[in-house]
Amino acid sequence: MTTRFRALLLTGCCLALLQSTVAETVLTGAAFAALLEEARSPASVEAILRWRRHLHTIPELFFEEFNTSAYVRQQLDELGIPYTYPLGITGIRAGPIGAAEGPVIALRADMDGLPITEELDLPYKSTTRGRMHACGHDGHMAMLLGAARLLKAREASLPGRVVLLFQPAEEGLGGARRLIAEGALEGVEAIHGVHVMPSMPAGTIGTRPSTIMAASDRFAVTVRGLGGHGALPHTTRDPVLAASAVVMALQAIVSRETSPIDSAVVTVSRINTGPGAANVIPESVELVGTIRALTAPTFERLHTRLEQVAAGVAAAYGCTAENVTWSAVPYPPTQNEAAMAALVLDVASGLLQGGQGGEGDEGQGGAGPGRAVVVEPMMAAEDFSFYGPAVKQAAFTFLGTGDPALGTDAGLHTPRFALDETQLPLGAALQAGVALEWLQRRAGGQAGAEAGGAEAEAGARDEL
């Protein structure tokens, strides 16, 4: 089965509108309508909001998600879903939901919060100063629990199995990698993850049949010279001047050495001279920043050239570039597998059009514009990228939650980030729908055929 879609327009925004027909899915329009209706039922909405709001009050940092994990496990107990714990210190592999045997698809949510102090005065705001779910991972967990509820209700008819991965440490330390190393993907043939996206209109579902997010690494480099009195610069080797020149020269790696078609970023975000008087030239300056690229070769070249340029330019000023350090866990590019992404778009279209005669694109229940879209790749990164090389049929999807009227369009990782909770049931239905459709296609041999074709075409694969 191939997915046919037409990009309708690209008018200054990053979204190409998608038109896809429900008829291309194994699940019927009625099945999608029923799934979404059930996800939006009072009992489902009450549970999803209760889960999300409680989790929002208890944000924890990477590999410290003990209370978060305990709460998720408690909900799994109440849903009657078994689990393996711990994986990756706080991670959970729940399930399987479904048949005793058969193909396995994994659905993933991340669990960690951020070292940010929440500014909005919500009734369920973070109870810990300096900790905040500012990337929506609380919503991801609630959606996955919501999907679990939907799938559990259909357990007897599933032609295979669904496992749920609640992973730690997405924000920089590669919790996904740790989970994989500890066997979380055993038997898994396909995997899907969803991220809320305030820069996309609420109710929009977007993914991409290739690289969707960038590779990411972070660097620090010390430019060392010879300090002295600011009135006697000729007796010093000024590391501030040298570091300034390094910052400028690093910009040429992207603007002069990288094809304009090949997206890359070199950002120096901090210049640290340490404490000192205004008339004292310091001994050294530390530069800190990040590099991003959409392909592995460009990513590798950015690493090499950053070190070469820093050393060469520092030397021209009589200084040295020392102690270059990189992240413990650089994130590779997030590369969606084409057939899996097509399946996700089919399911998104089915959910958003289901029950409306198939041609409407106004969405369901007035919860946003309701469009399935192919998105442009973005230079943020995600550790979902580690799953792709381990599970070929991997796709990562964005759920639009931006609504200026609700004030939910503030960026991820900002202290005023707020989630449009009304989209969470749609996200739960999407996760469940992807699993149901994949299992149906797999049972009919269609997913296998698609996966084989994509495999023959190309093999392929940080943090928001």
Residue 137 C-beta: closest distance to Zn ion, Å: 6
Residue among 17, 104, 135, 434 that touches Zn ion (CB under 5 A): 135
Query: Toward Zn ion, which CB reaches closer, 53 or 413?
Result: 413
Residue 137 assigned as binding residue: yes
Residue 205 C-beta: closest distance to Zn ion, Å: 17
Q: Which one of the spans 127-135, 213-221, 280-288, 325-333 is the region binding Zn ion (CB under 5 A)? A: 127-135
Are 213 and 462 in contact, with CB atoms under 8 Å apart? yes
Residue 54 assigned as binding residue: no
Question: Which residues fall within 8 angstroms of residue 156, CB to CB, at 6 or more apart?
Answer: none
The closest residue (CB) to Zn ion is 135
Query: Toward Zn ion, which CB reaches closer, 135 or 173?
Result: 135
Q: Which one of the spans 302-310, 370-378, 399-407, 456-464 is the region binding Zn ion (CB under 5 A)? A: 456-464
| Sign of the CA dihedral running 427, 428, 434, 440 | negative
In sequence order, what DSSP letters do the residues of 146-200 get, joined into one string? Answer: HHHHHHHHTGGG-SSEEEEEEES--SSS-HHHHHHHTTTTTTEEEEEEEEEEEEE
Q: Which one of the spans 133-141, 249-257, 289-297, 362-370 is the region binding Zn ion (CB under 5 A)? A: 133-141
Query: Toward Zn ion, which CB reaches closer, 32 or 62?
Result: 62
Query: Toward Zn ion, which CB reaches closer, 135 or 145?
Result: 135
Residue 221 C-beta: closest distance to Zn ion, Å: 25
Query: Toward Zn ion, which CB reaches closer, 152 or 413?
Result: 413
Are 41 and 146 in contact, with CB atoms under 8 Å apart? no
Residue 112 C-beta: closest distance to Zn ion, Å: 8
Tracing tokens 């440490």 back to the chain, one arrives at: 169
Closest CA to 38 of 420, 432, 461, 345: 432
Residue 413 assigned as binding residue: yes
Residue 234 assigned as binding residue: no
Tokens of residue 39, six digits: 């996800």
Residue 42 C-beta: closest distance to Zn ion, Å: 29
Q: Is 381 in the site for Zn ion (CB under 5 A)?
A: no
Query: Toward Zn ion, which CB reaches closer, 197 or 253?
Result: 197
Q: Which one of the spans 96-104, 128-136, 288-296, 309-317 is the region binding Zn ion (CB under 5 A)? A: 128-136
Are 188 and 84 in contact, with CB atoms under 8 Å apart? no
Using CB under 5 A as the binding rule, the residues of this chain from 25 to 44 that contact Zn ion are none
Question: Which residues fall within 8 angstroms of residue 330, CB to CB, at 6 or more apart?
Answer: 215, 216, 217, 299, 462
Instruction: Quote the CA–CA distance of 14 and 11 in Å, as a whole number.
Output: 8
Query: Toward Zn ion, which CB reaches closer, 110 or 450?
Result: 110
Q: Is 111 in the site for Zn ion (CB under 5 A)?
A: no
Q: Is 106 in the site for Zn ion (CB under 5 A)?
A: no
In sequence order, what DSSP letters do the residues of 390-442 get, joined into one string? Answer: HSSEEEEEEEEEE-TTTT--SPTTSTT----GGGHHHHHHHHHHHHHHHHHHH
Residue 286 assigned as binding residue: no
Q: Is 464 in the site for Zn ion (CB under 5 A)?
A: yes
Q: Is 164 in the site for Zn ion (CB under 5 A)?
A: no
Query: Toward Zn ion, which CB reaches closer, 32 or 51?
Result: 51
Tokens of residue 183, six digits: 């066997």
Instruction: Please report how the helices 446-457 and 424-443 are oriented relative to each other, as an axis angle in degrees rounded to 10.
Output: 90
Residue 377 C-beta: closest distance to Zn ion, Å: 16
Number of residues that bind Zn ion (CB under 5 A): 2
How many CB atoms lie under 10 A from the CB of residue 304? Answer: 10
Query: Toward Zn ion, which CB reaches closer, 135 or 179?
Result: 135
Instruction: Quote the CA–CA distance of 108 and 144 in Å, as a whole number.
Output: 7
Instruction: Quote the CA–CA distance of 87 and 141 in Å, as a whole number.
Output: 16
Q: Is 194 in the site for Zn ion (CB under 5 A)?
A: no
Question: Which residues fall within 8 angstroms of residue 337, CB to CB, at 6 or more apart?
Answer: 388, 392, 393, 394, 395, 451, 454, 460
Site residues (vs Zn ion, CB under 5 A): 135, 464
Binding region for Mn(2+)? 135, 137, 171, 195, 413
